[in-house]
Amino acid sequence: MQWNDQWNSMAGAVWARVFAAALIGLMASAPAAAAGPQTESELLAVLAGKAIEPGLAKAAAASQELAESARSLCKQKNDEALKQTRLAWKQAYLAWRTAQPMMLQGKEYKAEQLLEHWPANEAVMNGATASKELTHLLANPDVRGFAGAEYLLFAPAGVDEATTAGRCDHLQSVVAEIADQAATNQLQWRRQAPAFVAAGDGTPYLLPGDALSLVFARMLNVAERLLRDRICAPSGFFEGKAKTELLEAWRSDASRQSFQASIDGLRRLLLGNGEGAVVDLVAVKDGLVSKRNPQLAEDVRKQLERIDAQLAALKDGNGLRKDLQQDDKVLQPLYKSIEKLQKQIVEASLSLEVDVRGPGETQM
Amino acid sequence: MKSGKNNKTDGKKLLQRPMVRIAGLVALAGVVCGAMLLPKSAAVQAYLTQRKIDAVIADYADKVVLHTLERVVAKNEALNGAVAQLQANPTDAGVEEAAKAWRAARAQWQPIQSFAFGPAAFYDFDKQVASWPIDRPMIEHSIAQIAAGTLAIDSGLLRRKINSTQRGFFTAEHLLFRDGKPRKAAAIRPAELLYLKAVTQAIVEESLDFQASWAGSANLPPAAAARLKAAQLPERPSYAAEFAHPGAPGSRYFSRSVVLQEMFQESHTVVEDVCPLIEQWLGSTDPRDSESQDSRNAASDLVNLLQGVENAYLGGVEGNRGRAMAELVAAKDEVIDRRIRIALADVRYRINAVGDPYGEPAADHELKVRIAAASCWKLANKFAAAIVPVCMDPATEPWAAYVPSTAL
């Protein structure tokens, strides 16, 4: 077992080096990439080097920063440390949300979900952090993850309340778990990245499109979660009554920013950051049945701009929550726009003839 | 004239009355609302869906099944004609022509697997026409008997007295090909040509019987009907008639759903059969692992099986398509319909990309075979996902083929 761990760690280091070398190679070929990917393999290389790796690295670094900041807070117990830790939470959460479309971990999805249980269970949190007899309840997902950390950091009126022994212990446990998961995501990706970029050689991806289908499936999942869990549930679209306590990150005044972070993550995969991405291939590649679709590429760009404008017009955090209490349709235009973007992503997958399993289709 | 003018004036006056105007507006609003609400009614929706399904089923019978069988008969007749020419003038060019006709007939036969239910199942036409493996020793024995003058062979004898393993496509293939190429005319004995001619004639007669069983003997062109009679084949009622009228008296199909289940599940079954065959046939370097071992026609056999699925799904052969299964899928989920179309094209492309499995083995041959098989399983998955939403539409009920008599 020890040997295995050692071997895994060595193998991880080797992969990390191979990956770093590949990234350097990619950066060196920047002028070619600037024209935008012309093939699926080129697209995979661009996504791996320019979007996924930086996105996951930023999430891992910000989560690590949060863990260290929480440690400092619990040592120093002053207002400045609380302020810094709150800021670190925000940065870690937004980086996490931006990186979510890049988390291609598949079966590990459940681990990610455990960190995103909204809202935090206030009663259990307050009781279990105050009484040693109830500490076993602090293992439940509804008092952990980002929502748990947000509650511990932003609900208390001041630093004394935020840094009781029970709260500090739990906070450090929760943020360490977040940092571990973010680091695991990055490490797993670094192990998978060479196979992702080399997709088509059969180890394990038979075709470049098979690797690309993971990206599409993930983008669609992120869009679906935005619609279903993050907009629809707090707005109560299908139940008739807004449940504003389900609005994520309202305590930290970061609800709007977290929507924006998810959209930024999708943008990074769809448009890239000057180096080209999914839509650039959509604009130039003919398939067996589908034809290149520059119009769709342009439509996706415009749709993302439209969503940006809608987000800019929203209030953040508690302001948005109060607006939602007054008018449960305040997020409806955003919902419709993201729904349209989701359809455009499906259309892009059809244009590139990338297979994405739908509901009811069996795992091969 | 005068009276007409007065009527017109009276009409104008009537319309100027406020109560009449209001009543008119109310009536107009009612008509508009009715026109808007009617299509939303469940009963109207069910009716429209049923009409659409009826059109798809009718075109499936007409443009998929009957049209395919017409082409099957035509290609088999062409093969029989080419063999007759070869028999009259045994040259290498004649063998090549007959071999070409064999490949064309074989290509046209494969699509029938997508409607391997009904008459194909009742009378087992695939066994009659394409039995595999063949009984080579017994074929050789019969040819030796013909050569010795102890056996007079003809299509009737083949069909009635001799096992299906000694006739059909693969017997014809065995007599026309060796190692993937047409045989040399000089190597073909006269007795082999006599046997071959009886085999191709029997193929024509069996395929005519197949056509008659769907179209109905009475609905065949007079010439075809006369040939069926000459071959002493039985009169067949039209299966297409009962297939296209589910629920009608005399139809074995209890409901639209049962017909749709036949159509969709048979195509899905073909795809599910093809996927392992890709690895079994194209993954092997031994031609004996495939059916068409003498002609080495394995890749074409697979592509043409899938061509049958495509014809079924898109409502007929290219250039003669009608209302299609695809339309029903798209009505439920436009994306899955498009993914099925893409997957159909992709499997064909991937099978063709494998190349000749028996030539110089390519370095990436195994990978290409795996890719083609994986592409096929993707198609199978898409098809499976489409079956339930279409076949279980409430407008197609009852869903079960057999219901307890108490429920009738």
* Contact residues for B245 (Cβ-Cβ < 8 A; gap 6+): B251, B253
Contacts made by residues A174-177, CB under 8 angstroms, sequence distance 24+: A174/A144, A174/A145, A174/A148, A174/A149, A175/A63, A175/A66, A175/A67, A175/A70, A175/A89, A175/A92, A175/A149, A176/A67, A177/A115, A177/A144, A177/A145
pLDDT of B48 above 50:
yes
pLDDT of res. B355: 84
Look up the pTM and report it: 0.88
Pair (B142, B227) in one structural domain:
yes
Pair (B213, B258) in one structural domain:
no
Q: If pLDDT is split at 50, 70 and 90, which confidence band does A13 have?
A: very low
The C-alpha atoms of residue A198 and residue A184 are separated, in whole angstroms, by 22
Whether A346 contacts chain B with CB within 8 A: yes
Q: Which domain holds residue B332?
A: 254-399
Q: Does residue B61 belong to any structural domain of this protein? A: no
Q: Does residue B361 belong to any structural domain of this protein? A: yes
Q: Does residue B139 belong to any structural domain of this protein? A: yes
Whether A289 contacts chain B with CB within 8 A: yes
pLDDT of B124 above 70:
yes
**Residue A122 one-letter amino acid:** E
Pair (B278, B201) in one structural domain:
no
Domain final residue, candidates B216, B241, B266: B241
B335 CB neighbours in chain A (<8 A) are: 346, 350, 358
pLDDT of A171 above 90:
yes
pLDDT of res. B38: 64
Domain final residue, candidates B202, B217, B241: B241
Structure tokens at B387: 């079956």
Q: Which of B335, B368, B387, B388 to mutate to test the interface with A (most CBs of A within 10 A)?
A: B335
pLDDT of res. A114: 79
pLDDT of res. B197: 98
Pair (B329, B219) in one structural domain:
no
Whether A25 contacts chain B with CB within 8 A: no
Q: Does residue B8 belong to any structural domain of this protein? A: no
Q: Does residue B406 belong to any structural domain of this protein? A: no
Q: Does residue B87 belong to any structural domain of this protein? A: yes
Structure tokens at A349: 């997958």
Can you name the residues that pair with B286 across neighbouring β-strands? none
pLDDT, mean of residues B314-342: 96
The C-alpha atoms of residue B316 and residue B300 are separated, in whole angstroms, by 19
Instruction: List the CATH number of the domain containing B387.
Output: 1.20.120
Min distance A258 CA to chain B CA atoms (Å): 30
pLDDT of res. A357: 82
The interface predicted TM-score of the complex, written ipTM, equals: 0.86
**Residue B43 one-letter amino acid:** A
Query: Closest-CA residue in chain B for A204?
Result: B367
Domain final residue, candidates B210, B241, B272: B241
Pair (B90, B231) in one structural domain:
yes
B338 CB neighbours in chain A (<8 A) are: 289, 350
Which of A202, A289, A358 has the CB atom closest to B342's CB atom? A289
Instruction: List the CATH number of the domain containing B76.
Output: 1.20.1420.20
Pair (B330, B214) in one structural domain:
no
Min distance A288 CA to chain B CA atoms (Å): 6
Pair (B80, B209) in one structural domain:
yes
Pair (B231, B310) in one structural domain:
no
Cβ–Cβ < 8 Å for A159, A82:
yes
Segment among A55-59, A357-361, B45-49, B162-166 with least mean pLDDT = A357-361
Q: If pLDDT is split at 50, 70 and 90, which confidence band does A31 have?
A: very low
Pair (B86, B235) in one structural domain:
yes
Q: Does residue B333 belong to any structural domain of this protein? A: yes
Pair (B152, B293) in one structural domain:
no
Pair (B118, B236) in one structural domain:
yes
Number of folded domains that form chain B: 2
Q: Does residue B294 belong to any structural domain of this protein? A: yes
Pair (B235, B277) in one structural domain:
no
Per-residue burial over A59-71, b = 16 or more CB atoms within 10 Å of its CB, e = otherwise: bbbbbbbbbebbb
pLDDT, mean of residues A219-240: 92
Segment among A49-53, A56-60, A111-115, A224-228 with least mean pLDDT = A111-115
- Distance between alpha carbon B154 and the CA centroid of its chain, in Å? 29
